[in-house]
Amino acid sequence: MDEKEIIRRCQENDLSAYKMIYDRYEQPLLHTALRILGQQQDAEDAVQTTFLKLYRGIHNYRLDSQFSTYLFRIMINHCYDVLRKKRRARIQTLEDAHLGQESKNDIRLYLQKAISNLPEKMKASFVLYAVEGFKLREIAEIMEVSLGTVKTNIFQARLRLRSELSEHQIKE
């Protein structure tokens, strides 16, 4: 069954169709949310909230746009909300990372921490592009910004990450 048919069935409150959507998108959403939020529990909560919002708002979805873009936009917006709340509460993400593992894991953890320190829209653009493999136009749709803004965010994220990683390697 194609995706548009599944969506149409969701709009008719067919729970088995919702299950198909969940099975198809749960892991990609979780992976992206984890990269943006940095903590497993926050990412799982974001995915659940995304599907709840989808369930409540599926009737607003128009079949003329790509469904994955619509769904990821819901999740990205929720992740922004979570990050804003954390910032206000001064909760730092990835501080409880598993320290003291092999140096390869240390570099990966340092990279994750560096990504988590990027401004939220820059981080989302970078994660969607470099980690999740979305095309620039899809990212622009998901984030509801111009293509130029996405390109700038990714360029700036790469510069910052390159700078932080080079400083990290000099210190070690």
Residue 100 scores a pLDDT above 80:
no
CATH (residue range 100-172): 1.10.10.10
Domain ranges of the chain: 1-93, 100-172
pTM (two decimals):
0.62
Question: What's the sign of the alpha-carbon dihedral 70, 57, 87, 105?
Answer: negative
Mean pLDDT of 114-140: 90
Looking at residue 103, its pLDDT comes to 54
CB neighbour burial string for 10-33, b if at least 16 within 10 angstroms, e if fewer: beeeeeebbebbeeebeebbbebb
Q: How far apart are CA 25 and CA 145, in angstroms?
A: 23
* Mean pLDDT in residue range 131-160: 92
Position 114 scores a pLDDT of: 85
Answer whether CATH 1.10.1740.10 is correct for domain 1-93. yes
Closest Cα to residue 120, out of 156, 167, 70? 156
Say how far apart CA 59 and CA 13 lie, in whole Å. 10
Q: How confident is the model at residue 65, as a pLDDT?
A: 79
Q: How far apart are CA 4 and CA 25, in angstroms?
A: 14
What mean pLDDT comes out for the span 13-34? 94
Measuring CA to CA, which residue among 127, 131, 116, 114 is closest to residue 153?
127
